[in-house]
A and B are shown apart, each in its own frame.
Chain A
Amino acid sequence: MRASHQFPGGKGDVRDDMVQMVAREAKAANVDLDIQVYPGASLFKAEQQWNALVNGQLDITLFPLDYASGQVRAFSATLMPGLVRSYDRAKRLNESQFMKDIHATIEKAGAIVLSDAWFGGGMVSKRGCILEPNDVKGLKFRAAGPTFAQMWQSAGASIVSIPSNEIYNAFQTGVAEGTDTSMGSFLSFRLYEQAKCLTAPGTNALWFMYEPLLMSKKSFDKLDKKQQDVLIQAGKKAQKYYEDKAESVDEATIKAYKDHGVEVKTLTDAQYNQWIEIAKKSSYAEFAKDVPDGKKLIDEALSVK
């Protein structure tokens, strides 16, 4: 079987670790499961993985589900401003109706979830800290995806589109002055050399992205019960591994930014609520317009305590 992901292989990236862990567990169980891991988008480009997965050409993958939002519009809910808020709440969200609906959508499209994983992120800026909507006015902003772009745009930012391998360059020369992404990417993009301030997740994060460990339903159905159980158990183990490690990944990023003299801030409740008001008018409204049960999904997520 083939597993693929877009993250660097063998260098301690937690997402690579998760996939490798499942491959190891499957082999150790001695049920004739051999998983070959292709890291670093060496087999499929990141955005190709979804189609390959549902067609059964790829058996296992871990990727930002939002990448498939062009195929399954509801997946936009997994990269939506303010829906998750914190790692603790992410765990409660995993048990909610919202995630039951997302899992059902994934399964209907032809994949099953082995591990749930929410990755926190934030914003960096070359100008100052991004705390309130006013802070992005006129800022040249590179957004991680359409839903966030709608919110930044609504708050007065100028949206620029730049390929991810040119972000550092764009920051250095000033083609872009602000961007949002996961804490892991903030570290690998080395933006601490260019940024003035990082807005980290804390207890009021706007930015969370769902990157599940998925398996092709076609491949899964070909396995016998014993093999299926092994994979499900391995997935649970990988999820637990990630949950224990998530915050230390973020701390490594925060440390790197602080070491380079970058200010690191988190949002207060009041600031968070200001953003939610903007998101309601922009990202949430657009989503509800695009997706038949979009409003229901957002309400379900927001209602989680």
Chain B
Amino acid sequence: MNEISILMYLLSQRGSHHEFGATREEIIDRLNPGKKAENFVFNNVMTKLSNYIDPLGFQINYNPLNSHWYLSIKNEITEFFGANPFNEHPSLAATLFCTLTCCLKNRGKTSIQEIKKIRKKKNLISDLKALETKGYISINSKNRSVELTPLIGYQIDIERLYNNIVLMMKDEIK
């Protein structure tokens, strides 16, 4: 057993229902590098593992919603095999995007009313319920608020999404 195999196990483990991988603290705790070297060891081991698994089509990702590092399959491979959960439901994807936009503005939480303002759609509630069933959001029916679950942080690479939107909008300006 070496550092890489320990890390591989930690990053591919499943905790609770929507919890995969491990936090930085959990990784450091297992690797136990000593207080002074913990930054160096953490970054070094993560970079090494990332380089090892890259040709296999895997990558290390970070979920900002629950601060977990985890293993994922590269986006281009996911795209190639068409792993698309919204294949026949673009409307659901659009509702999820609007929810994400509202939640990002309000630190991970928003109201149904707020989503309605930007997603002008009649059966918005049924879309939200479908997204809740898929585990991407949780709805509080008492105060009509919506919250993103950690699962969406695993499934959407927000930085990549941001870059794609910026590139698309720049193309439109040109």
Q: Are A and B part of the same complex?
A: no
